Structure 1
Amino acid sequence: MQQSRYLQGGCGGACGVIYETVTPSCNNETAFGGAFAVSFNNSGHVGPDARDTLWAAYAPQLRADFAYRASHVTARVAKEIIARFYGQKPAYSYFMGCSNGGREAMMEAQRYPDDFDGIIAGAPALWITPGVVRIIHESQVARGADGQPILTPQSTQLLHRAVMAACDGLDGLKDGQIDNPRRCKFDPRTLVCKPGRNADCVTAQQAETMRRLYEGPVDAQGRRLFFGGEPYGSELLWTGPGSFVADGYQLAANQIKFMINNGETDQDFDWRSWKPDAAALADLMEKGGYYNASNPDLSAFKARGGKLIMWQGEADNAGGSYLLPDYYQRVRDTMGGFAGTDPFMRVYMFPGVYHCAGGYVGYQHDLLGPMVNWVERGVAPGAVEGAAILADGTVRRRPTYPFPVQARYVGKGDINAASSFAPAPVPEGYDDRFDWVGADIHAGPPPVAY
């Protein structure tokens, strides 16, 4: 084992299986090249796939394992195995996960700050419990009264082109990517077919569905029940297999039945007719809030010298646009602003990138290298350069600066060269706190377990 390093990987979805790779995928060569002893775990249970939740019924220990305990126990056992095999425990320990693995990463930072020196949390499912509201909302609005999908691949392709045309240039450069979709305000109802026209347009029903997917779930008073909906730029994924829009209800309904209600109630839960409100959200949080890695107080992790990188794609169809910026804002509010946060935590929002991997501009970024340099050499990460192969075969390289700093074209030079970009100043009074009903609802206690 070189440099006495340990790397633990996270799992995705509802876990139940052993992963064999880390995300971003470009880090796998480093992770498995001999520089680290590596481990993964199935989050304490066995399942047929990452969307199965039946294991949680009548099993408080398994629910606690999935929520927070499994990664901690794995870290303790793995380090002991390393010590037995190599004669010493690792000098440096790292955790790297995406989606639910990003949530596991944050549970480690929040609950077990001594387990890891460096943590990389990608597209973290920080609010897994209220997330079922958004997932079911999308399944509801995306199907008609006959149960059939309202949107077609042709309609979402048309929408994506229109969104890019409207919002690509908001950052001052037309380059085929939206750097900050939170600035985009495109209204899909402008695409509705006019009388006598039925090509390159959408129906009124399709346009309303698109609008509601961007908006996210709201109650009867118009109050938001989650951190918005689909981000601008994610449209090409809406009609594909495996998307939340297409069939996310399968996972979310079973999470409500088995993970949140333990299989004891809600067996007749009907996702089609469910109309959640503030009371329903509070009930979900009371029964299953212990799954959420949403605590902004990272003072113990900071005090022991831990380093944290959080990241997400700006076109993340599962995470949306607002969840991670909101969490980072609340961490800054808790930890003393940027001055108190920058010494141990950096956040990166990657333009054009989907949930954990891929994208309409599929950038790859090395995050493990910067983390090792930060932990072991004290060199804090600045701009992270990403590379993507465009449709015409051109390789585009771009810097992404620690959020909320944005990359800005300097006005000359190759737009596919990282050297043509510089950091733009952050506006005064910058605040990313998101106003939603669940912001002040506190979680109930975890299940009785070891």
Structure 2
Amino acid sequence: MSTSLGQACTPDTFSPSIGGTDILSLEATPITGYNATVTAGSRFTAPDIDLVNAEFCNVTIQYTHANDSNHVITVEAWLPLHRDWNQRFLAVGGGGWNAGRSDFGRLAMSGAIADGFATIVTDAGLGEAADPSEWALVRPGEVDMINFRNQAYQALEDEALFGKALVQDFYGAAPSFSYFNGCSQGGRQGLLLAQRYPDLYDGIAAIAPAIYFTELLPYMAWGQQLMNERRQYPYACEIDAITAAALSACDGLDGVKDRLLSRVDECLATFDPHSMINKNIPCAQTEQGQMDITKVAADLVEEVWRGMPIMRNNQSSIYPGVSPGANLTGTDALPMLLGTACADGTCFGNLGPLAEGYIKYFLAKDPEAIFDTSMTREEFLDTIVARSREEYGAILDSSDPDLTAFHASGGKMVTWHGLMDPLIPHRATEDYYNAVAGISPDVQEFYRYFEAPGIEHCTGGPSQVPTKLFKQLQAWVEEGVAPDASDVQVKVGCATHERILCAYPKRAVYQEDCGDVSLAACWTCQ
């Protein structure tokens, strides 16, 4: 351990004072010889990187809010040595119900340290639990609204203020620039920060954001509701075969056959799932090892793609469905929208854990509750969909399209969303971006959205994440160079192709006279 780290990384170095909070404990621990292998999939906007023999100061604070001593929140900051610090601060977002402090969050922090950032995460007072069972209820029938608000927004403001105060104490200077990076729940957090706390961060990367969270979670149960109404639960092989056929039929809509779906609206308009009815397919789940695709499977796929009826701003609307390229079945352990489990030739619905936990703890408010498979559609839309937004929308959703204060503060934000995302429909992100543009016609001056063909949820799929995008966000914030396109690598068969993502509403178009679809230079944004 270097002498400077041992001398500086002590509790006496730090005296953060954040209005409205009471600090219960502050620990400062010198960390040396720290190694981590960080993948691009854990950073969403930056490349793979190895952290080797790192030294930093781990500062962990436990605190409460002054008017509430029963809810203890933890923030954990990693501060590199003075010589390794790039004079910048980066907060890391969460995923699922986790606010950020987790093994996955620490992996993202490792990447931040490798790049020279001072970095921080929060647990929002919820610990490191992946589901809300440990913190959602005060007692059956009563949601712990303090935990809920801390998770939704309050801890995010605290995190930024504590992080900047610790940076000031450790380095004797404020960060030159402050950034936030997160996907899914972390994407929701990023948008919410731009909306509620527009002057906390100079740059925000809000990836695959769970924007309309109180609509998204019921949508995750929509496929199950559709199956329950019919009392029919197709084999996964049927649903997967329809998805594969859609991908094959729509693959060439952009002029290139590469197993990447990039023209989602055109695909929805031209591919009919019912064209697959009675097609014979291999099916390992059946005793015969094969079967004919049923009409109910085609009906369900069509409805899930179409989306879910909602009321928004007192008007009938649709929460958009996932794209035809998205996996609708998942696995028995992690089912997706049309997940089923089958035994002895009989299948039944298999609800995903995010929707199940939300319905159980926040709508039914009963840890013993189960999803009612006998609900009519009207009952589902009323007791699940409408009630969700009415009770929690103002707290949890990050759907306010008015980003004028964020723009005025000089903030810049980037978002990308995978077109194969099976959890959060990319068209919800598109809807939000268009709503922002409706208020701010100059939206491109401060916010850019990139559709990402071939990427699933946050990572995965034939396409790599855009590993240069965070550096592009920095260049936008610090040099005024806005990103029009961002490079990606995609797997096409056994080959790796270079492609580009384009700032919406533009999209990548292949220049036929260029001659090589594998070169990024042969693609332009139009």
TM-score, normalisation: structure 2: 0.71
Residue 166 of structure 1 and its aligned partner are, at CA, apart by: 1.5
Does the CA contact (< 8 Å) of 2:464 and 2:488 recur in 1? no
Counterpart of 1:162, as a letter, is A
Aligned to 1:255: 358
Aligned positions of 1:149-298 closer than 5 A: 150-152=234-236, 154-185=237-268, 186-193=271-278, 201-218=292-309, 226-235=318-327, 238-239=330-331, 241-245=333-337, 246=339, 247-259=350-362, 263=365, 268=369, 270-274=371-375, 275=377, 276-277=380-381, 281-289=385-393, 290-298=395-403
5 Å-filtered alignment, 1:20-419, equals: 20-21=103-104, 31-49=112-130, 51-58=131-138, 59-141=144-226, 150-152=234-236, 154-185=237-268, 186-193=271-278, 201-218=292-309, 226-235=318-327, 238-239=330-331, 241-245=333-337, 246=339, 247-259=350-362, 263=365, 268=369, 270-274=371-375, 275=377, 276-277=380-381, 281-289=385-393, 290-335=395-440, 337=441, 340-392=442-494, 394-411=495-512, 412-419=514-521
Q: Which amino acid aligns with 2:387?
A: D
Tell whether the 8 Å contact from 1:216 to 1:224 is kept in structure 2 after alignment: no
In the TM superposition, residue 270 of structure 1 has moved relative to its aligned partner by 3.3
Task: Please give the alpha-carbon distance, in whole angstroms, between the structure 1 residues aligned to 2:281 and 2:222.
Answer: 33
1:20-55 per-residue CA deviation (whole Å, 9 max, x = no partner) reads: 5579x9x88852314201111223312532x33451
Counterpart-to-counterpart distance in 1, 2:167 and 2:409:
22
- SS of the aligned residue for 2:476 comes to helix
Task: Tell me the SS of whatever aligns to 2:258.
Answer: coil
Distance 1:252 1:195, change over 3 A: closer
- When residues 232 and 145 of structure 1 are mapped into structure 2, their CA distance, relative to the original with a 3 A threshold, is closer
Which residue in 1 is equivalent to 2:61?
Answer: none
Deviations 1:83-131 (A, max 9, x none): 1111112111000000011001111100011110000000000111122
8 Å contact kept, 2:281–2:291:
no
Report deviation, 1:141.
Answer: 3.4
* Runs (5+) with no aligned partner, structure 1: 425-450
Structure 1 position 273, deviation (Å) = 2.9
Shift of 1:326: 0.5
Tell me the CA shift for residue 145 of structure 1: 7.5
Deviates more, 1:224-233 or 1:289-298: 224-233
Q: Is the 8 A contact 2:203 2:474 kept in 1?
A: yes
Q: Which amino acid aligns with 1:233?
A: G
* 1:10 and 2:93 matched: yes
After superposition, the Cα gap between the structure-2 partners of 1:362 and 1:204, relative to the gap in structure 1 and judged at 3 Å, is farther
Shift in alpha-carbon separation, 1:387–1:249, aligned structure 2, 3 A = closer
Deviations 1:207-256 (A, max 9, x none): 2222222223348xxx9764222211113754564243235444324323
Q: Where has structure 1 moved over 4 Å in runs of 4 or more?
A: 20-23, 27-30, 142-147, 194-201, 223-226, 265-269
Distance in 2 between the 1:67 and 1:236 partners? 28
**Per-residue deviation, 1:19:** 3.4
Instruction: Measure, in 1, the Cα distance between the counterparts of 2:483 and 2:303.
Output: 38
Structure 1 CA distance, aligned partners of 2:209 and 2:100?
19
Partner-residue secondary structure (3-state), 1:130? helix
| Residues 11 and 100 in structure 1, CA contact (< 8 A), matched pair in contact too | yes
Shifted more, 3-12 versus 30-39: the winner is: 30-39
Gaps of 5+ in 2: 1-83, 139-143, 283-287, 340-349
Q: How many Å separate the matches in 1 of 2:155 and 2:246?
A: 42
- Residue of structure 2 equivalent to 1:441: none
Offset of residue 70 of structure 1:
1.2
User: What SS does the aligned partner of 2:119 have?
Assistant: strand
- Name 2:44's counterpart in structure 1: none
Q: Distance in 1 between matches of 2:198 and 2:213?
A: 21
**Larger fraction in strand:** 2
- Secondary structure of 2:460's counterpart equals coil
**Is the CA contact (8 Å cut-off) linking 1:12 and 1:98 kept in structure 2?**
yes
Q: What secondary structure sits across from 1:368 in the alignment?
A: helix
Distance 1:248-1:360 versus aligned 2 partners, 3 A rule: farther
Q: 189-198 or 29-38: which moved more?
A: 189-198
Q: Which has the higher contact order (CA 8 A, sep 6+)?
A: 1
Identity of aligned residues (%): 28
- C-alpha change, 1:83 and 1:196, in structure 2 (3 Å) is closer
What is the alpha-carbon distance in structure 1 between the residues aligned to residue 491 and residue 159 of structure 2? 37
Residue 187 of structure 1: how far off its partner (Å): 1.6
**Cα offset for 1:349?**
0.7
Deviation at 1:310, TM superposition (A): 1.3
Counterpart secondary structure, 2:135: helix
2:255 maps to a residue whose letter is: G
- Size of the aligned set, in residue pairs, is 411
Contact 1:399 1:418 in 2 (8 A): yes
Instruction: For residue 146 of structure 1, report the CA deviation from its aligned partner.
Output: 7.5
Q: Secondary structure of 2:114's match?
A: coil
Deviations 1:278-317 (A, max 9, x none): 6864432221112000000011111010001011001111
1:433 — aligned with what? none
Larger radius of gyration: 2
RMSD over aligned CA atoms reads 3.0
Query: Which deviations, in whole Å up to 9, do the C-alpha atoms of 1:368-396 show, x marking residues without a partner?
Result: 1111111111111111010123431x111
8 Å CA contact 2:226, 2:300 repeated in 1:
yes
